[in-house]
Every structure is written in C-alpha cells, then in structure tokens.
Structure 1
Amino acid sequence: MSGGVVLRLLQFSLGLYAAVAVIHTTWLYLLLPLSRLSWPSTASAPATAHRVDRLSQSTGLNVPELNVDLDLAVLLDDDHWADVSTSRYASSELVQLPRSKVSARKIGRVSGYGVNEETLLSKAFSEAMHPTRIIPFYFKAAHSVDPDDVTITTLVTSNRFRVFKQLVERYRGPISVTIHIPLPLHSSFSTLKPDHPSRAALNSLHALYASSPLFSRFVDVHLALSPFTSPLSSEATSSTEGEGGRQFNVWRNAARLFARTDFVMMLDVDFAVCTDWRGFIRDTLRAASSSPIRHTTRTPRRAQPYVPDGANGTEIVQRLREGSAALVVPAFEHVKQEDGVDQRSFPGDKQTLIKLVQANPPVIASFHASWGPGHSSTDYERYYSIPAGSGAIYKVEQYQSAYEPYVITNKRVSWCDERFAGYGGNKAACLFEMYLSGVSFYVLSDHFLIHQSHKYEEEARREERKSNRKVYADFKEESCLRYLYRYYREGTLHTERAANAREECKKIKNISKTVSQLING
C-alpha cells in the first residue's frame, strides 16, 4: 500500500473520530441537560397497557381496563414513606436546576445541579404534617394547555368522588386536583389486604378516572399519601371526612403548584359551576392582549358597569395577569338543604338566580348567610342591583380578615399557609395573605357558584375551628409584621402596593402599636 493511500486513510480516520467526538460532546453537555430542564414525571412512560400491568403487579389492585387515550398513572413502588431518614426521601428521578446563562458562558457549556424530586417536594411542603408524600401527576391529562386558560384547583377525599365527577362534567376545562389516599405508616400498597380501605380508595380512583373520557382529557391528579385520620384524634374513624388530618392548604398548594395554566380558580369540590366565567376571562384576556389600556371617566357607582375607580374589564384582567387582582365568583346555597342536592336543578343564569333569591320565601341565599364575615364583603345587595348581562366588575371595598370568597387568580400569587389542620381559618388565611401582598378583589357580577348540599361532621368541625381560631390569630400577626417589614426594607411601605397591609394590620390589637411606629416612624 502506497504512502499516499495510508495518509488518506489516516486523515479519514482522524476526521471520523473528530466528528463522533463533536456529536458526543454536543449531546452530553448541551442537548441532554437542556432536555432535563423541565420537571420529570415520577416514573418513565412505557406503553399504557404495560403500565397497567406493572401497577396491578405492584399494588395487587384490580385495575379496570382503560379504553381512553391517557398517560396512565405512575407506578407506586414499595417504599412510600420517607420518615425514617433523610436518605429515604431520595428517588431516582432528578430535577435539573440549570446554571445561569452568565455562568454557562464562563465555563463554556450548559450544566446544572440535579436535586432528587422527592427531596425537592419535601422542602416545598415542609410545613405539612409529616409523614406526607406528594406524588405529582399520578394521572396526567392529554389536553393541550393554553396558558391563558383557567385551571380549577381543588382537593378531594375518596368519599367525594361522585361530586367530583359532576364538577368535571360541568366544567369541561383544565382541573388540577390533589386526592388524599390514606396509607398506614411503614406500609406499602402491596402488603395491604385486598379489602383494606387504602387499596379500596386507590382502586376507586382508577375506576373514577376511567368512567369518563373527560378525565383523561382535562384532569391532572396528584396524590397526597398520609396515615392520619383526624387531626384531633389518634383513633381510627369510620368517617373518611377526617382523612389526612384535613391538611387543606397543603393539598390546595399542591394542586396549584402543578396547574399547567397561568390562571387558577381555587374552588371547593362541592360547588357547581353554573355560568361560563371561564369563557368571560379568556375572552377578556384576549381583548386585553390586543388593545391598549385606556382609562375611562369616573361615573356614579350604580350607573358604571365597571369598578368605581374607573378601571374597565380589560384593565382588571391586566392586573389579574400581573398578580395584583383576584376575581370573585359569588357563592350561593339553597335555603332548604334538600333542594340543593341535585345540580341538574340549579339555575344557569343570573336572571333565574335572582328570581329564586327574591322568591317568597327565598329558595336560594348567599352562601353561609348566617355567618356574615365569610362572604358579606362581596356586597350581595350590590350584586343583585346590577342588571344581568352587563359584564360588570366591581371592587370589594369593605374587606375584613374572615373573608373567604372563591377567586380566580394568577397562579403565582402568595401561597396558602400550611400550618392549619382541619376546618377553620385555612381558606381565609390564603385570601388574607393575598390581600397583604397587594392583591385587590373584584366581583364578577354576571357569574355565580352554587353549593351542593351535603351533611357536615359538625362535632369534629366545631373542635377544629376552636383550635384554629388561635392559629389564625397568630398567623395574622406574623403575616402583618412580615409584610410590613418587607415593605419597609424595600422602601415601598408608603406606596399603593402596601396600602392593604397598612390599613388591615392596624386593626390587630396585639401589634397595633408596633405597626403604628413602623408606619409613622
């Protein structure tokens, strides 16, 4: 073989080696890290049928055959609890936290730091009663997500599956739900007897998800596993209403964290969606995106179909997008509990609603009318006075700290404080912190929700409310001092953003002197 041929072969080999090296380096240091920047699912995604087989083998459950197109549930393995040592929080899945662009340019490649998914979630929900394990996207809906859509975020225990299905069928839009599944401490599903309540609950969840194609189209399901029965008792109870220690704000936060749209509606599962507020929000967001903001002339309160400060609907949804506005959908209930059982009989427009409210005797009234602080700030008399179809949005002008309406917000508003266990103060705390952070509330006067009647576990609720009354009082004081100090350090204490905190925190007797000194000092 001549020297020229050998030289050409050597050059070809070196060129091939260089090409392979470039491809390998590009994949290892650029494409692979970029592919991991999004949150991974908690398990790989093999074919649907294979995943059903694996789930059945792991849990021993009789999983129903699913004939709908869905990304089926993740596999639950035998190690569900992470309460023994820190290392047991670890999972094989990593969440990649990328370096900054500046850092990447300095080192000449894209890289990051991987955090075990369960470790990250344990920190995210560190205020929960432990052990509690959150499993995101146990079921993941197949629908494509529009960021400007509104996701209903809610929480469900196994005794409320029937009413949850009604919510899915009525809304027909994105829903992110946290479902509590009880699991005894130091247990796995595969070790439980076939008739154990935990296995029955998971089996019921699979049957529910397979019962309608609307679930696989719209509903993302996240599991909350915990061994608790009632927060005030270590004894087992036959009632499922006390499941999971009633960690409502933990479950609310999980549902919102994993919502895939920019806007969310924080809703209890037993409320019927009666009007198309979702369509109204989406249309108004589109209008706001395509037209400049124009301020209108201030007009008298009753004649003006929008808020009294002169802002119109387009401006309000701009504030919604910025995270400084929350839209209230007024809540109602039937006067006689037996009249509110069947959602099919509920009114579907404001005109019909008003007739039922003004009937003699009234058929429908404002929600929890016997306890005014919860919803009276909505100003129902003003709501009734505005003609149906006006598109009116009016501002809540008499906020007070027990106010707990059902609101549509930007996903990135303040989170719900997770110290509460059981009924009393938990939802009001979510709204209170929103208010301190600078969020104002605006009422959609053409829209409403109606509560579906059901029996309450009154004795347990009474005890929980008693204990949470003190928790809520402490929470308000701490939140006020935290926000006022933040505004003070930012130099924004006397701006419009801090106005809510300045006014509301002066009302709290135990810290009023400190607040006055901070504001006036």
Structure 2
Amino acid sequence: MSVDLQTFMARRGAKAMGLILLLSCLALLTRYYTYEPNSSHFRRGLFYRNDSSIQLGQFNSHFSWTDGNGGLHQLPIETVLSKSFSLSSYSEQSQIIPYYYKSAMNMTGEDITIVTLVTRNRIPNLARLATQYQGPISTTIHISDDQEGGYTLELLQNAMDENPNMRKYVDVHVVRDEFDRELNLWRNVAKLFARTEYVMQLDIDFFPCTDIRKSVLNNPKAMSLLRTGEAALVIPAFEYSQQEEGLDYRHFPSNKRDLVKQYNEKKLEMFHSFWLPGHAPTDYERWTSNEKEIYQVTTYQHSYEPYVIFKNQGSPWCDERFAGYGSNKAACLYELYISGVDYYVLPDDFIVHQTHAYPDEARQVERYYNRRLYTQFREEICIRLARRFITQRKWDHPKSENLRQECASIKPFQRAIGRFL
C-alpha cells in the first residue's frame, strides 16, 4: 500500500476502505456487464468478449432421468440434440440454445403458438408479428460462427429492447453453425420448444390480418377438430398481384369483406398463383364466395403447402434432409397428411404475404435437388407409415385412409404392401 494511501486510510478509516471497494466493484461491472432492460424475462446465452462464443447460461447442460430402481442417469444435452437432429447437417461444431430469450407470457396449455424461423433481415417482421398476434411465438434464429453472428444478435437485442411485445410473447431459440438454409431443422427446433398444445406453422413473411388466435380458440368446431389430433386448420394465404403493393402491411385488409373486394378486383390473388398445386386445394373460389363454415379439403395433392394449425404432441417432424429452397415445407405437410391428419379451411381468417426479394439463382439449384429428394421421400414415407399402420392393425382404419389413397399411385409402394399384408 502506498504512503499516500496509508495516510488517507489513517485519516478516514474503515469508511474510506468501503468506498474504495465499492468503486472497484463498479469499475468491474462497467467493464464486464452490459445492462439489458427487463433481463429477468429471459433465460439468456452470453457472448463472452474474449472469444465470442455462446455459452448455455441457465439452460441445463445434461438430460437427466431416473430408472426403476431410483438410479439417476444423465446424458450431455449436446448428445441428445445431436441425436434429435441427426438427419440435418448438425455437427459437433453446431450449437442449439433453447430459450435464448424466453417470453414473459404466462401460457396456458390450450393455446396456439406460432412456430416460425427468422433471419437477420426479417427481425422487423418478427417484431410486427408479435405486436399483431398478441400470443405465444416460438422462433428459431440462425447465426453464423463469426462476427456476423454477433451482429445479428445485437439487432435482435435492439428489437427486444424497443418492442415490449417481443419480450412478452416471443421465445427465441438460437442455432449457431456454418450451415445456411437448414429450414426444416430450424422449424423443428421452434416446434420442439413451443410451450402450448397447438402450433401454427407460419413463414415470417406473412402478416396475420385477422385475430386468428381468438377466432380459433372461441370456435367450438375448430377446437373440437384440433383436440382429436387428426385435423389441421388451413389459413388461406394471399399476395398482391402488383408486388409493390405488398410492401406495407399497414395497407392490408383487416377483414374478409375487404379482402374479398380486393380479390374480386384482381388486386389480391392466391399466394403463388403461378404454381397452382401449392395452394389451390384450399379452394379459393369457395372461400371467397361468402363461405361461413369450416370445410374440409377434398382435392389434396402432394405439392400442397398450406399454412396450418395442428396439435403439437404426436404430430410428425419435418424431414431435415431438405436443406435450402424447394419441397421442404411440402415434405412437412405431406407426412402430416398421410399420417392421418385431414385439412380443414378456416372461413374468416387469412394471411397476406409481405413482398420481399427472392435469391432466384440459389433457389433454382436447390429446388432441382430437393425435387429429386421429394420423389424419393414420398415413396419412403408411404412405406414406413404403411408398415406402422399394418403392425398396429390400423390398415383398414379411417386414420390410414389418406395414406392408402395418396400412396396408391406409387408403384414401389404397391409392391411393398403386397409383402406386408
């Protein structure tokens, strides 16, 4: 201790020492702690300044269970996640951080969580979705393993700080690795950590113009269908014929009457009307002709890609071999359908696409390979689920009817079934 400090301490005593310690603590906090408003709402991962690596924070590092003799067993959570997502590009360098942000909402089981994924340039879409939906949202955000990943999380932090609806309603799960556009992996992460009985599969570019959550939760028929686990509710999707008119969500219609008016005036049309198989089975002419009741989709075909609400528990997962654009969402919905889930269309609710640019060159290459994979996938899933139904003695059960009808045109399927029966 220096002579000057000794002299000061002799004069001031213990109070001076306390003041010095307090100032030292404040200096350390200033260096290593960044203030985050409402941080008690979140279970956070941390970017450490020295190595920019995400740590698990309060998330349990092991999966634990007790055997019949009371013995405790554990597996590292990284092992569990690597097995859970083994069909994707998930590797030892990958990190999945559930609840990087955890919403402050007190959720009830019988509610509907929007399951979606978000990229850096779509964070504003997520903020307006939280404000519009006013209900639980589970989203995955992918970040790269470099400084760009840190920048993405800074933008996310800013959105959380600026929008109380983000803090109240949105659970954010981080996937950190070098693999881009693992869309079905990201969907599965968001669905896995959704905290309600029902989920709404939605792309972040769509704006829910009506109060879908309230409409469904207060509709006895809709809830009766969802509770069976054998029905998915379709939300009709629209886009503007002139793409520039879809840039500002504040000008979108907020009720069916106004939407139908714009539809009849050719201002709005079925989403991706250039690819009829994608949404035509919803039957837009029936929906816009003053339909007031939930109705069943009767013209399903394998390229159908509606946005749907369905029961989370027991529903199939999206096949993670589909990386990049093309067929990834169709694969999710195909397996859902032939697993025994029928599609029903909501009569009054709708979503509208928010216009954005498409990376066409990347899409063309990825679509080519995913189309080939999808043909093989349909054959595989038909045979696999058929074996399940036959083993469970449900081959003649109504639950297997979708599979029997949809898979009948696949020749390898017919040959295989002849051996199983």
TM-score using structure 1 length: 0.70
Give distance in 1, aligned partners of 2:281 and 2:387. 27
Q: In the alignment, which of 259, 262, 282 is matched to residue 378 of structure 1?
A: 282
- 1:164 CA drift (Å): 1.7
What's the offset of the Cα at 1:116?
1.7
The corresponding residue for 1:249 is 184
Deviation at 1:75, TM superposition (A): 2.8
Name 2:128's counterpart in structure 1: 166
Question: How do 1:49-64 and structure 2 match up within 5 A?
Answer: 57=32
Do structure 1's residue 95 and structure 2's residue 63 form an aligned pair?
A: yes
Distance in 2, matches of 1:54 and 1:207, equals: 21
Shift of 1:66: 1.9
Deviation at 1:166, TM superposition (A): 1.5
Residue equivalent to 2:20: none
Deviation of 1:401 (Å): 0.6
* Residues 105-144 of structure 1: CA deviation (Å, up to 9, x unaligned): xx4xx55422222221121111121333211000101110
- Percent pairwise identity: 41
Is 1:444 aligned with 2:395?
A: no
**Structure 1: which 5+ residue stretches go unaligned?**
1-49, 83-90, 185-195, 229-243, 288-312
Residue identity in the other structure for 1:394: Y
Letter in 1 for 2:258: T
Q: Deviations over 1:352-391 (max 9, x none)?
A: 00000001xx11001011100100110111111234xx3x
1:277 is aligned to 212
Q: What's the counterpart of residue 41 of structure 2? A: 70
- Are 1:422 and 2:308 matched, yes or no? no
Residues 79/118 of structure 1: CA separation in 2 closer, same or farther (3 Å cut):
farther
Corresponding letter in the other structure for 1:337? Q
- Does the 8 Å contact 1:137/1:220 carry over to 2? yes
CA contact 1:64–1:207 (8 Å) conserved in 2? no
CA 1:94 to 1:55, structure 2 compared with 1: closer, same or farther past 3 Å?
A: farther
Matched, 1:212 2:174: no
Asked if the contact 1:97–1:115 (Cα under 8 Å) also holds between the matched residues in 2, the reply is no
C-alpha distance 92-414 of structure 1, shift in aligned 2 (>3 A)? closer
Name the CA shift for 1:76/1:493 in 2 (closer, same or farther; >3 Å): farther
CA change 1:460–1:97 in 2 (3 A) is same
Cα deviation for residue 76 of structure 1 reads 4.6
Cα 1:518–1:330, aligned 2, differ >3 Å: closer, same or farther? Answer: farther
Kept in 2, the 8 Å contact 1:326–1:440? The answer is yes
Letter aligned with residue 372 of structure 1:
L
- Structure 1: how far apart are the matches of 2:389 and 2:102? 40
Aligned runs of 1:89-488 on 2, under 5 Å?
93-99=61-67, 103=68, 107=69, 110-131=70-91, 132-184=94-146, 196-228=147-179, 244=180, 246-284=181-219, 287=220, 313=221, 316-359=222-265, 362-387=266-291, 390=292, 392-412=293-313, 413-488=315-390
The answer on whether the counterparts of 2:217 and 2:223 sit within 8 Å (CA) in structure 1 is: no
Q: 2:127·2:165 contact (CA, 8 Å) conserved in 1?
A: no
Q: CA deviation at 1:72?
A: 4.9
In structure 2, C-alpha distance between the alignment counterparts of 1:175 and 1:155, rounded to whole Å: 10
Indicate if the aligned counterparts of 2:132 and 2:208 stay in contact, CA closer than 8 A: yes
Partner-residue secondary structure (3-state), 1:404: coil
Contact 2:97-2:175 within 8 A present in 1 as well: yes
**CA distance in 1 between partners of 2:227 and 2:111 (Å):** 12
Using the TM superposition, give the Cα deviation of residue 518 of structure 1 relative to its aligned residue in structure 2, in angstroms.
5.2
SS in structure 1 at match of 2:75? strand
**Letter paired with 1:424:** G
Aligned length: 387
1:291-336 CA-to-partner distances (Å, cap 9, x unmatched) read: xxxxxxxxxxxxxxxxxxxxxx2xx533312311000000000000
Shift of 1:338: 0.4
* Residue 238 (structure 1) aligns with: none
Task: Supply the AA of the counterpart residue of 1:416.
Answer: C
Counterpart CA distance in 1 for 2:392 and 2:319 is 23
**What's the CA shift string for 1:430-475, capped at 9, x where partnerless?**
0110111100000001110000011111111011100101111111
Measure, in 1, the Cα distance between the counterparts of 2:75 and 2:167: 30
Alignment counterpart, residue 408 of structure 2, candidates 497, 503, 506: 506
Letter in 2 for 1:94: H
CA distance in 1, matches of 2:305, 2:378: 14
Change (3 A) 1:455 1:54: farther
1:378–1:248: structure 2 CA closer, same or farther, 3 Å change rule? same
For residues 54 and 414 of structure 1, do their structure 2 counterparts lie closer, same or farther at Cα, with a shift above 3 Å needed?
farther
RMSD in angstroms over aligned alpha carbons? Answer: 2.4
